Chains A and B, each alone.
Chain A
């Protein structure tokens, strides 16, 4: 994080805080109870699944901790997390199961 000065870091924090508030306040605060176009809602529904997978895919396939080499420890933890998430539909089960797999794999093959 050496690329950022303290001022820049605070700029990011405050900017993200204000921007997030504006998003939360947008319809509730400014539009009130007027209807919202269906196509807008249709796009908004997919934002989380559109951003988060793309963010982590490179981290899983090319982790910086191994200088970008594919790593069986991290891959097996990822597979376990997804499998547990699909099976249990429970975020916590997936997180803890994935972390347990990560530590177990690190101990066995890492």
Chain B
């Protein structure tokens, strides 16, 4: 392991602790309030390490959705991880198999973002240095994520009634989504998602959300393609 590169990555990832800790604590509280045991709350956090998908699963479980719908919808939230995986592959694809597996386990939004930025700006890095940087940036995120969830779960039972804890998930998700709305295609995708989810609310097995999400993805992709085509035509004329 390239130690100095590891610590470089660590310093880049460390500021995100201020996001991870409250987010993890809220998951601990929400999971416990929903009726999960401490082991189950920590099970989610250890095995999934993806806050948005974990919240989605717990929310659908409180709505008593069928098991396969809980799984499909939460996995849909995590489809973006496949995109991260795709964009990291050219930089890390030559690392040893076990390292690629370990990096996949620890792949979260923030460690992905700082690592890919570093790889783009420092093309001279070796594959070993890139791996060290990736692990360095993930360490200050993954470990506090475990600890914060545990703290939240311990705290969960101590929250007095009357506090609108049911609304922690909507607020957290709104806060996560809003900065993502960078282009007209993102806005359109979000609007289609909301409109169809509301219209199709009556569909059995909570299928409405899945249908809404697929249509929203197609909308975003189609608008992006149209914008790109228009830019090319303008460039040629």
Q: How many Å lie between the Cα of A40 and that of B180 in the bound state?
A: 19
Residues B70-102 near A (CB distance < 8 A)? 70-71, 73-86, 88-90, 92-94, 97, 100-101
Give the chain A neighbours of B83 by CB distance below 8 A: 41, 44-45, 47
Quick one: which of B166, B194, B219 contacts A57, CB cutoff 8 A? B194
Q: How many A-B pairs with Cβ below 8 Å? A: 290
Specify the chain A residue showing the minimal Cβ separation from B56: A55
Give the chain A neighbours of B166 by CB distance below 8 A: 59, 63-65
Q: How many Å lie between the Cα of A5 and that of B80 in the bound state?
A: 30
Specify the chain A residue showing the minimal Cβ separation from B170: A56
Give the chain A neighbours of B205 by CB distance below 8 A: none
Determine the main DSSP class of B at the interface with A.
helix
Specify the chain A residue showing the minimal Cβ separation from B166: A65
Q: How far is the CB of A71 from chain B (nearest CB, A)?
A: 9
Is B197 a contact partner of A55 (Cβ separation < 8 A)? yes
Q: How many Å lie between the Cα of A89 and that of B168 in the bound state?
A: 19
Is A82 a contact partner of B174 (Cβ separation < 8 A)? yes
For chain B, give the interface size range.
35 or more
Q: How many Å lie between the Cα of A82 and that of B164 in the bound state?
A: 18
Q: How many Å lie between the Cα of A1 and that of B62 in the bound state?
A: 5
Is B100 a contact partner of A81 (Cβ separation < 8 A)? no
A1-B35, A10-B40 as given contacts; A54 in contact with B196, CB under 8 Å: yes
Is A27 a contact partner of B36 (Cβ separation < 8 A)? no
Is B70 a contact partner of A52 (Cβ separation < 8 A)? no
Q: How many Å lie between the Cα of A97 and that of B231 in the bound state?
A: 38
B158 at interface, CB cutoff 8 A: no
Is B218 a contact partner of A43 (Cβ separation < 8 A)? yes
For chain A, give the interface size range.
35 or more
Q: How many Å lie between the Cα of A78 and that of B173 in the bound state?
A: 10
Residues B164-215 near A (CB distance < 8 A)? 164, 166-181, 185-186, 189-194, 196-198, 201, 209, 212-214
Q: Mark A94-110, 1 if CB is under 8 A from B, else 0.
A: 11101100110010001
Specify the chain A residue showing the minimal Cβ separation from B176: A91
Q: How many Å lie between the Cα of A17 and that of B78 in the bound state?
A: 11
Give the chain B neighbours of A70 by CB distance below 8 A: none
Is A27 a contact partner of B61 (Cβ separation < 8 A)? no
Q: How many Å lie between the Cα of A60 and that of B77 in the bound state?
A: 19
Give the chain B neighbours of A20 by CB distance below 8 A: 47-50, 53, 75, 78, 81
Q: How many Å lie between the Cα of A109 and that of B219 in the bound state?
A: 39
Give the chain A neighbours of B136 by CB distance below 8 A: none
Specify the chain A residue showing the minimal Cβ separation from B77: A51
B67 at interface, CB cutoff 8 A: yes
Sample (19) of A-B pairs whose CB atoms are under 8 Å apart? A12-B57, A12-B61, A12-B71, A17-B47, A24-B105, A40-B86, A45-B221, A46-B217, A47-B79, A47-B80, A50-B190, A51-B216, A56-B170, A56-B173, A57-B197, A81-B171, A81-B175, A99-B168, A103-B163
A-side residues, CB < 8 A to B, are: 1-4, 8-21, 23-29, 31-34, 36, 39-61, 63-65, 73-74, 77-78, 81-82, 84-86, 89-92, 94-96, 98-99, 102-103, 106, 110
Given contact pairs A52-B52, A53-B191, a sample of 6 additional A-B residue pairs in the complex whose CB atoms are under 8 Å apart: A25-B104, A34-B89, A50-B220, A51-B77, A52-B77, A54-B212
